[in-house]
Structure formats: structure tokens, C-alpha cells
Structure 1
Amino acid sequence: MKLQENFEGVLDGHFESLLSNEQLPVPGLVVLARRGQCTYQKAFGFSDLNSGKEMQTDAMFRMFSMTKVLTSFVALRLYEEGLFDFEDPVGKYIASFDRSWDIVIDSKDGPDSLDYTSFLTGQCSKLNFKRQKSLQPMLIKHLMSESTGIEYELFSEYDSFLGGGICNRNAGLVANGIRQKINSDVYKSTNILGADLTLEQFVDTIGTAGVLTCEPGEFSYGHGATVLGRVIEILYEKSRGRSRKFSEIMSELLFEPLGMQDATFFLADGDSRISRIPTLYGAKLMPGGTSVEIAVEQECYPSVIHNITNQTAHYEGPRSYESGDTGSIMTVSDYAKFYDLLLNYGVTNNGERLLSVEGIRTLCKGRFRDLRLNTQLALAFGVGGEFSPFAKSFNFGWATSHSDECSIGGYATSDHSDMSNWGGYALTQGFFYLDQKSYMLVCPQLMLTTPGAFAFGQALIRDQSMAVFHNVWA
């Protein structure tokens, strides 16, 4: 397996074209691709447009939701120690989750309401809703497959902004608003990692609020991996007899064995790596909706929106909320070491086995069969299983293919060679092919939470880059 002889010129041409794209000009990015023994790694554009600082391959990227699969990997290490089962109730491990849950449902005549200020428009509206008791337990597998009902508010925001088609409900706004009444710092798309809360406090706020957007088992992309990170903390303490923070466990069980030297969650004052973090940009959607204006992220929201911390949360502020959903920051080369471990079926370059062959195939090819996928949000994400144009669903922190009949019962996995993939809030993208011994990482820093990036980013950076990569395979 290799790349075509002209692969470098083709890839150069594509990624250089992203910098001047008419719909969404990308300020800068780093790319690392590998197929067999062929490797491609380059930086394009600028780390900071204002100063003219060029992007470098050792830039520190906010990986955001590409953290999720790393969290699932660490959880599988503990699974292989016999510390939990996929079917275990989450409340078995987290006391605040050992409860009945309410599902919040849009209702014009609902008995409850709350005021919500949109971070996209700055307008305040009253959201009416009713509550319905959940009938399904929340299980560990729901954390791994983002089917807990603990959904980000972003999708309801964009439904209102764009007129529907993403999740077609306000439940994400309502549930998040109820949690913010308990602690106003708990979560905002403009303050993803800046909460002055520990992971335990963050997760217990979710449990205390007791509200979901849907029954567990339905794809509801959000905080599942954050809750999984708290489960990992509890399992680690129970099995080792000592307490460690989630970031420390991640370092011990993944970052350190792989030599991911720059990988971390937060940086202390004065850390030299801070200077390598690119400026975080966004895109304002211009009148007519066909063009954008690139600006620093903070300038892409209405002036009434405050506490916008996504640029600085990794190196300023409390630095205490360690999210298994969105929290990691590292170089592209460090993240590639994780993919290399998967290609080597769980064995490090030093010969240490971190996960069994079965565990690697489960992570990359596994599928939970009993999820409810024929929903608007799953279809919008392209993870609606047989209901999507290309059958795949979200399992173990990323999307895995359905081109076989693989189901998970312990470790039942597939043998096909299709792609596992996922991206992050800053439009970072990872494409991984276990059997084809290939992968590609594409890392800009352009926030998907801003209107122009939301409108055009995935089709441009994810879909076009994926197609170009496939076209240079030999």
C-alpha cells in the first residue's frame, strides 16, 4: 500500500487552494498523511493573520472532539482489566447519575419556561417546555456512542438560526439552561473549556439537573465522553487505590507510553508551548449567505455575548474542567502517534502492548447494534446507520462503518477496511483506515460554532480533503 508518485503535488494543490477558497478561506492548517511507508506532512498559511506569523508543523492544536476517541481508548484499557461492562448503568459508578431522568420536550403550552439569549443573534427568547419521565437507563455504552441525551446546545441554536434541519428541537437549549441555573459556568459553546469547575463538579451538575433531550440510546451528540472521563477517574481509583485526575490518567495510559510529549489538557503560566498555539478564527456569514468574512472568533458573535474563552481556555483562567469530549491540545505529530499505535494493533514502538488486537478492532470497527439512529440529528451528522447514504454510526468516540454485520457483544468486530473518522469544533479532521494502513489528519483552527464555518466548513475541509486523499492512493 502506497501513495501515487504525484501525491505530493496533488495534496499541495488542494491544501493551498483552501487558503484562497472563495466561500471559506482558511487562515492556516497543518496536514499529516500516511499510507504504508509513504508520509506527507506540511504546514500551510498563517498561525496568526495579523502578525503574519506562518503556520508551523509543531503548532499546538485544540483537538476538541477528536479527544473523544482517545477517551474511549483509555476506557477500553480499563474494560480489558474487567473493571466495567458496556451494559452497566452509569449510576453504578456516579452517584449523581443514580436517579430517574426527565426528558425536556418543546411545548408552546408547556407548564415550564426559561429565558435564553442566543450566542448567534444576541436575541433573548422564552422557551416553553414540558417534562416527561425517561423510561430507559443510561448505560456506559451510551457514553461511548454519544447517545446519552446529554446533548450540546449548539444544534438547537443552529436550528433556530437556519430554520431547522439539524435536530428540530429546542431541548438542547432548555436542558443546558436548566443546568446553568445550578451553575452558570457549566457549559457554553463560547466557553467550552473555561468552566471554573472540576470534572467531578461539572458531571455532578448534569446529574443534579436531571434533564435529557431524549431517551438514552438515541444519538444525542454532546457530553457523553466527559461523563465517561469521570467514570474513568472512579474506576482508576477503585482499581489502583489512589486518586488521579482524568488528564493524569490519560497521560499515564496513553500519552506517556506513546511519547506524545506535547499532548496535554491545560498549560501552566509561562509554558513555552503557549507560543505555538495558533489564533482561533471564525467566519461571519455575510448577507445573502454565500460568502464569509474571516475574523478572530471573539469578533464573530454579537457584542452582547461575553466570556468568550475558546482562544485562551487552555492557557488562561481556571484550567480545571478536564473534558474527555473536547479537552486535549497537542501537535499533529503527537496525535498521529495514536493512529500509528492503532496501525500497530495496540503495541508501542517500545514493544509495550496497550490494548489487545481485539480491543483495537473493536475501537476501529465495532458497532453497538441497539442504538436508535433514524433521527434528525443522526442523519444530519451522517451517522444514521442504514438510514444514512453511507451506512455508519458513532461508536467509541468516532464514526465507524456499517458495511458488514458487526455487532458488539464483548468483542465482536468486523473485518472490512472502511474508514473510522471524526473531527472537532475547530474543524480539525481525522480519517483513519485500519486495514488499509492509512490515515490523514487535517488541522485548521476555524471554529465551527461561528456561522460561516458552520455553513461551509465540513463540506470544504472534511469532504473535499477526504476525496483528494482517496484519489492519491496507489
Structure 2
Amino acid sequence: MVKPETVGMSAARLERLDQVMKHRYVDGGYLPGFITQVYRNGELAHTGIVGSMDLERGRPMQEDAIFRIYSMTKPVIGVALMIAVEEGLVGLDDDVHNHIPSFKELGVYQSAMPTLLPNQPQQFIIRRPERHMKVIDLATHTSGLTYGFLRRTAVDQAYRKENVNAFDTPGGLQGMIDQLSRLPLEFSPGTQWNYSVGMDVLGYIIQQAYGMPLGEVLRRKLFEPLGMKDTHFYIPSGEIGRFTSCYQPGAGGKGLKLQDDGQKSTYAEPPLLEAGGGGLVSTTHDYMRMCRMLANRGNLDGVQILSPKSIQLFSLNHLEGGRELADMAPPGMFSEAGYAGQGFSICTGVNIDVAKTRLPGTLGEFFWGGAASTAFWVDPKEELAVVFMTQVIGTDARLTLRRDLRTLTYSAMTESYA
């Protein structure tokens, strides 16, 4: 690390970031502990390590702890997608059925036919979509696909009935694609924003394009070139001692109870399905390596992962007509971020109206989070990247946590480059 003042930040204010987050979220019983890293102007300006990685065993948080990053897997898939685009294997405007022929006849849900027998396959009345699904629709959650856990619509219910599961579908990614090929879309591609298995489908397209398993593509094209040695779809042999335990709110939302014991976790074994939408584990160091590359025009330590022009695409809103998430997402739709002032980029959210977010920030910064309350963002104009790692699922404090993290980080700036 360098002295923060040399990169336009205040050491005292970065220390305040840790103190406030510790007092409010760790001492307050919302988080077991956390790691925060702040990178600016080519240098690591701050690492804050607070609390515990395993409350039951009294193990303090350690800098090389391994975390479940869940939906922070999605931006990794976005980078892999752009690598495939640069290599001429995939186009953002490709029709998805060019890569997955069984998706060509997908229709939009109208209604469901009654089933007379317990094991009778569900039949649907469908209509033609207004246009075919494109790769960019998968990358922006506008494909018409969904998640079964959303529990909002008949299509969500059909996903649950078919057990479309992004972690343990029999037959892996091919098995999931086979399931999705039998189910209707929730809406015509491009017309709405709906959190979905779209990034898992992108993972399938990527693995088909390279003719090897998704995990192997990520290893060869991204993890090894960037030195991300602790990012995998499971915990390698001998590293389980570094794996954090995951928690959820206790009774009445107070305190924490164990959700997944890090020392007895199913993550110790390779998964049935390598889930591009949420299956990776990683460290703060590894994820920051990727963020540093994104903040540095696609290059890190002399390794060019993406061209500067491809990196610029992450700072643009790719929703049709330049619309905001607030205009396209159904009321109450789950998201890893708020909606106001935000669009969607290549597997990440993007800031398109700072005033509407009611938070400090910069046009074109891109970001996302994970189900266990992890978060990151990259602000290219300010040459800033922030990674926050913790492990709590289902906390009501998730969005205020990210609000405070963002406010305290930007408040530590003493110079602005934007």
C-alpha cells in the first residue's frame, strides 16, 4: 500500500470508513466481519480488516480469506464474454439461437394449460416474441428469462416446478439449457428488466465457443493471466481452512446464525453446474486484481486482458432506448442495487444519473454485489476501484451497508479527477 495522500485520499478518512462500518454493522450484529480494499490512481490506498471469518470457532478475519461471491460472479462472466467478443467468437448483437439452436422457438408466456396427472409435463399457451433474444439481452437481464426464487409470476413457478437450479442441475449447464428450452419467456426480449439466469446462459455460450468447461475457460483466459489463484467454482484441496463461514439474520432479524459452515461446506467439492450467475468463490485480493484491470483500461502488470475500447463499454447503459432500471424493472423486483439513476451495462449496473442515486459517484462507474452482502465498483474517471467482502445472506442492512460504504469512500477523497 501507498500513503493515501499520494493518490488524492485521506488516511484519516479511510480509517473513519472502517470505524463507522465496524460500529454500525459488526458491533451492531449485522455482519461477522469484513474486508475493504480501496485502489486509486494505480495504487492500493487502503485495506481494512475487521471482525471475524468464523464466529463459532472465534477465528479473526484474515486478509487471504476466501468468500462466496455469488452474483459478483456475473461481472466475471461479463469480462469473459468481452474476451470472447474480442476473439471473434461471439457478438453482443448475435441472436442467441445462433449459439443455442433450441432457443429459436422460445415463446412468451400467455397462460398455462391445466395438468390432469401429477407427473404430466406442464403445457403453455405462448405467443411469438417481438424479436429474437440477443446476447446483449442475456448480459443486461432483458432476455425474458427469470429466476425461480423470485416467486412473482407463473413463469417463476414453472422454473421451480422444473427445478431450474443454477447450482446443482443434473447434467450441468447443458442440463439447464435443456430445461430452459422447454419453458416460456416471461416477456419479449428487450422490453423489461428482470433478474435472471441469463448470466448462466452466457456461461454456456462461452464454454461452447471455446469447446471446454466454463471453469477452464475462466482459468486460462482470465484467472491465470491476472494471477487470480484463489478464484474457483469450489475450494481446492488444502485451502478449506481459509474459507469463511456464512451467516443469516437470527430470530426477529437480530444477531447472526450460521447459514453455511465454512469448514463443512459443500463448496469443498466441485459443483454439478459451474454457475456463471453466482457460483464462484474468491478473495478480496483476487477480485481487486480484476477490478484493477478494469480501472486500468484493460491492462494489469503488463498483461492486456481487454482493449480500452471494450472497457469503455462497461461504462455505457445498454438498456434499449437508454432507459433506466427504474423504468424497466417490475415493482418490487429483486436487485443487488437500487434503481434510481442506474442503467445496466455488460453484466453490471452502471451510474447514468448521479443526482437520482442520491449518493456521491460518477457517471459511467459500474458496480454490482452478491447475495452474501459483498460489493464492488469501478469508477474509471476517478481511477478508483473498491471491493468489499463479508458473508451474510438475507440481511435487511444490505442496501444501507452499500450506501454507507460508497459515501464513506468518496468522502475520503481529497482530489477529484472527474
TM over 0.5: yes
> CA offsets per residue over residues 337-358 of structure 1, 9 Å max, x none?
0011112211231x23221110
Task: State how far apart, in whole Å, the 2-side matches of 1:253 and 1:88 are.
Answer: 22
The equivalent position to 2:223 in structure 1, one of 246, 252, 255, is 255
Q: Could you tell me which residue of structure 2 aligns to residue 333 of structure 1?
A: 285
Q: Could you tell me which residue of structure 2 aligns to residue 324 of structure 1?
A: 276
CA contact (8 A) 2:195 2:334 kept: no
* 1:47-446 mapped onto 2 (5 Å cutoff): 47-103=53-109, 111-112=113-114, 131-135=125-129, 136-156=131-151, 169-171=152-154, 173-180=156-163, 186-187=164-165, 193-207=167-181, 209-217=182-190, 218-236=192-210, 243-268=211-236, 271-284=237-250, 286=252, 291-297=253-259, 312-316=265-269, 319-349=271-301, 351-370=302-321, 373=325, 374-377=327-330, 380=333, 388-389=339-340, 391-403=341-353, 417-446=363-392
> CA offsets per residue over residues 388-415 of structure 1, 9 Å max, x none?
53x22122111012249xxxxxxxxxxx
CA contact (8 A) 1:193 1:313 kept: no
CA contact (8 A) 1:193 1:314 kept: no
Q: Could you tell me which residue of structure 2 aligns to residue 159 of structure 1?
A: none
CA contact (8 A) 2:36 2:389 kept: yes
CA contact (8 A) 1:3 1:38 kept: no
Task: State how far apart, in whole Å, the 2-side matches of 1:378 and 1:244 are.
Answer: 39
Q: 1:70 to 1:376 in 2, by over 3 A?
A: closer
**Is there any run of 5+ residues in structure 1 with no aligned partner, and where?**
115-127, 157-168, 181-185, 237-242, 300-308, 405-415
TM-score, structure 2 length as denominator? Answer: 0.85
Q: 1:375 to 1:342 in 2, by over 3 A?
A: closer
Q: Could you tell me which residue of structure 1 aligns to residue 49 of structure 2?
A: 43
The Cα of 1:171 is off from its aligned counterpart by 3.4
Q: Please report the RMSD computed on the Cα atoms of aligned residues, expressed in angstroms.
A: 3.0
AA aligned opposite 2:230: D
Q: 1:112 to 1:30 in 2, by over 3 A?
A: farther
CA contact (8 A) 2:350 2:367 kept: yes
AA aligned opposite 2:39: R
- Aligned-residue identity in percent: 23
CA contact (8 A) 2:14 2:409 kept: no
TM-score, structure 1 length as denominator? Answer: 0.75
**Is there any run of 5+ residues in structure 2 with no aligned partner, and where?**
1-6, 117-121, 355-361
Q: 1:419 to 1:284 in 2, by over 3 A?
A: same
> CA offsets per residue over residues 76-117 of structure 1, 9 Å max, x none?
112122223222211111122122324266xxxx64479xxx
Q: 1:327 to 1:367 in 2, by over 3 A?
A: same
The Cα of 1:9 is off from its aligned counterpart by 2.3
Residue 296 of structure 1 aligns to a residue whose secondary structure is strand
Q: 1:383 to 1:216 in 2, by over 3 A?
A: farther
Task: State how far apart, in whole Å, the 2-side matches of 1:67 and 1:384 are.
Answer: 15
AA aligned opposite 1:143: L
The Cα of 1:7 is off from its aligned counterpart by 2.4
> CA offsets per residue over residues 439-471 of structure 1, 9 Å max, x none?
2111111113xxxx1x33222x21111111111
Q: Could you tell me which residue of structure 2 aligns to residue 458 of structure 1?
A: 399
CA contact (8 A) 2:296 2:383 kept: no
The Cα of 1:147 is off from its aligned counterpart by 1.4
Q: 1:421 to 1:104 in 2, by over 3 A?
A: farther
Q: Could you tell me which residue of structure 2 aligns to residue 183 of structure 1?
A: none
Q: Does 1:32 align with 2:6?
A: no
CA contact (8 A) 1:154 1:172 kept: no
Q: 1:378 to 1:230 in 2, by over 3 A?
A: farther
AA aligned opposite 2:267: H
AA aligned opposite 2:349: A
> CA offsets per residue over residues 206-248 of structure 1, 9 Å max, x none?
12x2222222222111111110011111222xxxxxx310010
The Cα of 1:143 is off from its aligned counterpart by 0.8
AA aligned opposite 2:286: D
